Amino acid sequence: MNLTQEAVEEWIANTTGEFNYRNVMDGDYDKKIIPYLRVMMQRCKEKGLIAPVGKRDGVWRKVDASAVELAWWDATPVEEDTIMLPLGINKYCLIQRPSLIIVAGKYNAGKSCFCINTVALNQNTHWAGKIDFFVSEGADLMKPRFARLGITSAPAFRTYRRTENFADVIQKDNLSIVDYLRVDMEQPYAVSQRLFEIYNKVNKGTGIAVVAMQKPPGGRMLAFGGASTAFEPSLYIGMETTGNYTGWIGFEKVKIARGYGGYDMSKLKIDYRIEYGANFVDVKERLEYD
C-alpha cells in the first residue's frame, strides 16, 4: 500500500482506543517505511490529532476534542436523595447525579449485603426499571438473599453475571451496582483506571455507580489500589468485620456532608450485624476518637 499522510490521518479518525504506530492501516504497508511512519505520527501530534500514551514508546491515542458546555446557571440544586443507601447513610450525606460510590471491605465484611440492600431500597423509586446489578455469583446464591428482603418474583431491576470490563456495559443514566470489582494483585494500582472508566461512563449522563471492592487487612478504609481509588468517588465507605457476622462502616470520603448531629464524619462509625447474608440489624452509630 502507498502510505500517505492523508491516508494515515483518515485511519486515525476512524480508530478507537490506544494503538501502536506500527499497527496503523492495520499493518498493511511496506515495513521499510516504518522510520517515515514515526515522522507521520509526529505530524499528527503537531496537528492535535493524537497524543502519546504514558511513557510507552510508539503508543498513541486519538485526541478527543469534543467538549459539551455545562449550563450550570440553569441547573436546579439537588437537596433530596437521588439514591437510597443502607444503614441510614442518607442522613449523613447527599449524593448528586452523576456519581461514583465506593464500598471497600475485607472478605466477609458485608459488601454483598450492602449491594443487595441498595438494589432493594431503590427498586420502587425513580430508578425502577433502570437498575443494573452485576454479580459474580450464580442464581442459586442470589435467590435466597433476595427472598430475605421480600423479593421473590421478577423484580424492577436486572441482574447480570459479570466479573470484568464493567464500563463496557454500564448505561450512563442508570443505577449500576457492581459486586465486585476485582483487583490484579500484581498491579493493584491499575484498578484506578478501571474505576475511572466506570466514572467516566456515568459522568456522561445522570447515572450513579456503586462499586464494591476488596480492601487489605488493617484500619485503613481504602481498597486495594490505595489513594488512587479515591479520586472520583462522591462517597467512599470502608467496611470492617469484627467476627460472628458483625462489623462496622467508616467514611473515607464524603463529598457533600449533611452535618447530621454535627458529627465529624472521619470519626463516625456505624455498627451492624448481618442476618442470613441479607439483613442489617442492630444498627448503631458511634464516634471513635484516636
pLDDT tens for each residue of 55-94: 888 899 999 888 778 787 787 777 788 999 999 999 999 9
Provide the whole-model pTM.
0.82
According to DSSP, the β-strands at 208-214 and 175-181 are parallel
Higher pLDDT, residue 283 or 258: 283
Q: What b/e sequence results for 131-160 when a residue is b if at least 16 CB atoms lie within 10 Å of its CB, and e otherwise?
A: bbbbbeeeeeebeebbeebebeeebebebe
The pLDDT value recorded for residue 290 is 63
What residues pair up with 235 in beta bridges, in sequence order?
101, 254
Q: What is the DSSP letter of 135?
A: E
Mean pLDDT across the chain: 90
Q: How confident is the model at residue 167 (pLDDT cuts 50, 70, 90)?
A: very high
The secondary structure element, H or E, covering residue 41 is helix 34-46
Q: Higher model confidence: residue 137 or residue 2? A: 137
Percent of the chain whose predicted confidence (pLDDT) is above 70: 99
Share of the chain above pLDDT 90, in %: 62
The per-residue pLDDT for 171 is: 96
Determine the average pLDDT of the residues in 4-8: 90
Predicted local distance difference test score (pLDDT) of residue 134:
96
Name the CATH topology of 74-287: Rossmann fold (3.40.50)
